[in-house]
Amino acid sequence: MSNATALNPEDLVAVARDNKAWPFEEARKLIARYPQGFPAHGVLFETGYGPSGLPHIGTFGEVVRTTMVRRAFEAMCPGVPTRLIAFSDDMDGLRKVPDGIPNPELLRAALGKPLTQVPDPFGTHQSFGAHNNARLQAFLDGFGFEYEFLSSTDCYRSGRFDATLLDILAHYDAVIDVILPTLGPERRATYSPFLPIDPDSGIVLQVPIVAFDVAAGTVSYVRPGTNETVTVPVTGGACKLQWKVDWAMRWVALGVDYEMAGKDLIDSVMLSGRITRVLGKEPPAGFNYELFLDAEGAKISKSKGNGLTIDEWLEYGPPESLALYMFQSPRKAKRLHFDVIPRAIEEYADFLGRYGEQPPEQRLGNPVHHIHEGAPPAADLPVSFSLLLNLASVAATDDPARLWGFVSRHAPDASPATHPLLDRLVRHAARYARDFVIPTLKRRAPDAREAAALADLDARLAALGETADAEAFQFEVYEAGKAAGFENLRDWFKALYEILIGSSQGPRMGSFIALYGLAQTRVLIASALATSLSQETP
């Protein structure tokens, strides 16, 4: 259910065409590709995947961002068909044995072979490539992405790429002229865009091509370790292409209109684009997104394991918060670490809460419009995530049922059944507090003035009674601070957080007291005052 009246198609198109949100800006690039009108088959989006490893947070980021552009285009051009291809480069040769997999000897014996010809070390599929392809599809399906899966091996072997492969052979020298200036002297001497798959060993060979025959559609090479010249067709899966040429070939053969890539691939995108033009076509539209950084600001590396995995994010935050993180500033390098999760959750809840009250032009710029493909759910979060974190931390509990006990006091009509998003946030808060907040908390004893202020606050709260609301509690917190002579009330609240919670930052105290409970809050104050007295006793 959406929390806002849906725009009618005509109004949606009008608002979308001028909207400045980056998915709409990207969609305008696609519109510009077809000034005379779109082809009957519509437009094609693509994302790529290297199945030598498992899907990761970068895979999610590329697919979710591409989907956002796709939906923005559909809003601007209703009725124009769109498709998203998730393409697996499973024809690539296995370069090394990944760490941490079972039966590594199976892979060592197959080094150099296409991933779809490498045995599956997990024993569940016909090949290592098929295993990881299945994991990719399960990964994408789990997030509800709409896509079509394509295997490089299937496309090569079925003949789907044959016509474009023959076109590249016909433009062999022009393609070489694009690539060679980018290579060092040694690599330049042996480079060929075609990688023959040796008929005997099945290995993807990086060998010089000694001859090519455009009319016959073949290339020839000298088999390593012998003087034997072998001639193979470039079609039917007997060869594959070096990846930059392969990328261009794929764009042409499939008719790709849009594909984004990481900033580290800018040069590759440019080279593949030049090759695409050699073949008489325009490269797809797209942009280069920035890469993620770890907690220290270093580039995240899968081999180093210095980043945050998608499973780790989803342990502590809902997928909507991760999608928001991907939406925001895609061209800006951002830290991807555990401490960014709570803020992403808070911002998601804030954007969701504002959506229904915004005019159409602001709604289309609201991230939740893109996260939920134009139909955000109703916003009904009576308790903020930061307050849930504080509750879990002060109560020192990772039990969702206990946290729900606090929530129900504040919002008696809320329950896990009626508020599923809040229930998910309760569970995430319990886990995050357990692993990252509670171990760092360190309550301090109040000084004399702070102790007097706390005693005054306790008396004020007791006078209010259990039936008071958050605003009444908040008022008395302010009054106690003023009475104690805190000229800057921020110092008073900071003291409350450090003394009662164990952190220099904390929630709005009135809301916290209402949620945590007056009796429990007074126990915290009593404990703090007892600590102060014990320090004064000689």
Any idea which residue has 């806002």 for tokens?
Answer: 4
Q: What is the pLDDT along the chain (538 residues), one digit of tens a residue?
A: 345 566 677 778 888 888 999 999 999 999 999 999 999 999 999 999 988 877 888 899 999 999 999 999 999 999 999 999 999 999 999 999 988 889 999 999 999 999 999 999 999 999 999 999 999 999 999 999 999 999 999 999 999 999 999 999 999 999 999 999 999 998 998 899 999 999 999 999 999 999 999 999 999 999 999 999 999 999 999 999 999 999 999 999 999 999 999 999 999 999 999 999 999 999 999 999 998 887 777 777 655 656 688 899 999 999 999 999 999 999 999 888 999 999 999 999 999 999 999 998 899 999 999 999 999 998 889 999 999 999 999 998 999 999 999 998 888 899 999 999 999 999 999 999 999 999 999 999 999 999 999 999 999 999 999 889 999 999 999 999 999 999 899 999 999 999 999 998 888 999 999 999 999 999 999 999 998 766 655 4
pTM of the predicted model, to two decimals?
0.91
Q: Which own/partner contact pairs does 17-24 have at CB distance under 8 Å and 24+ positions apart?
A: 17/76, 18/361, 19/361, 19/364, 19/365, 20/365, 21/72, 21/364, 21/365, 21/369, 21/370, 22/330, 23/65, 23/68, 23/69, 23/71, 23/72, 23/370, 24/72, 24/75, 24/76, 24/364
Burial of 219 (0-12, 13-18, 19+ CB in 10 A): buried
Secondary structure, 3-state, 334-369? EECCHHHHHHHHHHHHHHHHHHCCCCHHHHCCCHHH
Fold of domain 448-536: Arc Repressor Mutant, subunit A (1.10.10)
pLDDT at 25: 96
Question: Distance of CA 143 to CAs 130, 175, 322, 423, Å?
Answer: 20, 39, 11, 19
Burial of 312 (0-12, 13-18, 19+ CB in 10 A): middle
Residue 11 tokens, joined? 């109004």
Return the percentage of the chain with pLDDT > 70, whole number.
Answer: 96
Question: Using CA atoms, how far apart are residues 371 and 78, in angstroms rounded to an integer?
Answer: 19
DSSP 11-76: HHHHHHHT--SHHHHHHHHHHHH-TT---TT-EEEEEEE-TTS---HHHHHHHHHHHHHHHHHHHH
Q: Phi and psi (nearest 5°) for 417?
A: -75, -40
- Asked whether the beta carbons of 84 and 45 are under 8 A apart, the reply is yes
The torsion defined by the Cα of 90, 93, 97 and 101, in degrees rounded to 10, comes to 20
CA angle 267, 271, 273 (to 5 degrees): 115
The torsion defined by the Cα of 228, 233, 238 and 243, in degrees rounded to 10, comes to 100
Residue 515 tokens, joined? 């949620």
Question: Using CA atoms, how far apart are residues 299 and 290, in angstroms rounded to an integer?
Answer: 10
Helix (H) or strand (E) run with residue 455 in it: helix 448-464
266 contacts: CB under 8 Å, gap ≥ 6 = 288
Strand partners, 148: 85
The per-residue pLDDT for range 145-204, each reduced to its tens digit, is 999 999 999 999 999 999 999 999 999 999 999 999 999 998 998 899 999 999 999 999
The per-residue pLDDT for range 278-291, each reduced to its tens digit, is 999 999 999 999 98
Domain ranges of the chain: 9-152+243-289, 163-241, 385-440, 448-536
N-term to C-term CA, the chain = 64
CATH 3.40.50.620 fits 9-152+243-289, yes or no: yes
- Asked whether the beta carbons of 426 and 384 are under 8 A apart, the reply is no
Please count the CA atoms within 13 angstroms of the CA of 74 that sit on its side-chain side. 15
Question: Using CA atoms, how far apart are residues 501 and 519, in angstroms rounded to an integer?
Answer: 16
Question: Using CA atoms, how far apart are residues 54 and 62, in angstroms rounded to an integer?
Answer: 15
Any idea which residue has 């555990």 for tokens?
Answer: 338
CA angle 243, 332, 355 (to 5 degrees): 115
SS3 of 261, please?
Answer: strand
Residue 31 tokens, joined? 């519109």
- Asked whether the beta carbons of 403 and 429 are under 8 A apart, the reply is yes
Q: How far, in whole angstroms, is CA 131 from its chain's centroid? A: 22
SS3 of 463, please?
Answer: helix
- Asked whether the beta carbons of 470 and 524 are under 8 A apart, the reply is no
Residue 395 tokens, joined? 């109560």
- The single-letter DSSP state of residue 506 is -
Question: Using CA atoms, how far apart are residues 161 and 166, in angstroms rounded to an integer?
Answer: 9
pLDDT at 9: 73
